[in-house]
Structure 1
Amino acid sequence: MDLSPDRTQREQGQSAQAQAYAYLLAEIRSGRLEGGTHVVADRIASTLGISRMPVREAIRQLSSEGFMTIRSNRGAVVTALGTEEIGELYEMRAVLEGFAMRLVTTHIDRQGLDEADIALTRLDRARENVDWFITAHDQFHDAFLDYCPRPRLVAEIRRIRRATEPYLRMTLKVSSTAGQNTTDEHRELLSAIRSGNPSIAETAMREHVLRTDVEELVFRGA
């Protein structure tokens, strides 16, 4: 085993970068870091008790994934998306996740379907709590994606879902009707996947994702 000082320093640096990345991504997804917010590496480093370099590397990683934008005159800012950009992301997700469900129908087993059913129950109970709702919603979709045999496809679907999460969260917080019919929609989706018919599952997922009214999303900070 290599226990050299150089390796130890590399591992510590990677660990600090992972910590900074996880922290910043969580702040962006939750909406606490809104679109357009200037992110100062020194402040994040001080908050986490780490050096600036891992934070800067985490910012570069988030920039490559589209969550942050590095500008020569302003430094790093949280990426702010507009209606057209969000709409495009939902269109992309509809196509990608629809195709994923086509593959899932031939791979998912009873355990996966049962996990989706449990998440559906949680989703119905969580409509009054945004954090619980988002968690249950992600668990429902992940119950299927865990059975998709295309890891890069799954990674991109989840990246898009994370990118739109802040706007969905804000909408759920201020709207009394957002998510009202979501349990019925997800139950129909589960039924389509239970059918075992790839075409039905793909169409159901596409229609489900595109059912989101992007015009009603709240673009605070955009």
Structure 2
Amino acid sequence: MNQPLEGRTVLVTGANGGLGEQFVRQALERGATKVYATARTPRHWDDTRIQPLPLDITDPESATHLARTTPDVDLLINNAAIGPVDDSITGPEDELRQIFETNFFGNLRIANAFAPVLSANGGGTLLNILSSAAWVSMPTGYAASKAAMWSATNALRIQLSKHGTQVIGLLVGMIDTPMSTQWEVPKVSAASVVAQAYDAVADGSIEVLADEQTRYLKTQLSTKAEEFYPWLHEQLAVFVR
């Protein structure tokens, strides 16, 4: 399934900055005709091919309204997410619920709202931005929510295959964006992550491992748990406070 971006209509959630902004700009560089750039409070863009639209992915009505009013979308980038600074898996339940409402239920809500739109436009592509945190034991709600969304992405791939929809999961570690400023660790650029993602859209891939750390981590997932988790705990010491 080869689906280059030439002539396509793209919708990006969480488009105001960081990774989202790169998805918007690189889509146009690769020949997309139109990009819907969504956010709770959309920013101004300097290109008439970019249409800013309001979207709160935690609001079911906002999601369904957007799907009704953008019937030409054939490439959906599910990018919006939150990662609070004080996030902890043992933190207050309402804070954990907020993380899951955005990173899991919100992203799944958008995927389900646009599934009929993609189908009507020849199947199209759904790209979910995940994280290598889905595979590691980081003690955060963020990691748990990304693990849930990784599972949901794999399930959506099966469910939407009957419509000819390409479902891609993008997994990556630390990206050099405002969300990661608190961590002084090696980071990959947002531009390189997006370039790899769009390459996958074009060549029909279903999974993107966007940095060396993530690629290595996947090779270790079959390691016996008694060996894997002590090794992993050592690697993650910088993140555990």
Instruction: Confirm or deny a common fold (TM above 0.5).
Output: no
Query: Which protein is bigger by CA-based radius of gyration?
Result: 1
Which structure dedicates a bigger proportion of its chain to strand?
A: 2
Structure with more helix by fraction: 1
Structure of greater relative contact order (alpha carbons < 8 Å, 6+ residues apart): 1
TM-score, normalization by structure 2: 0.28
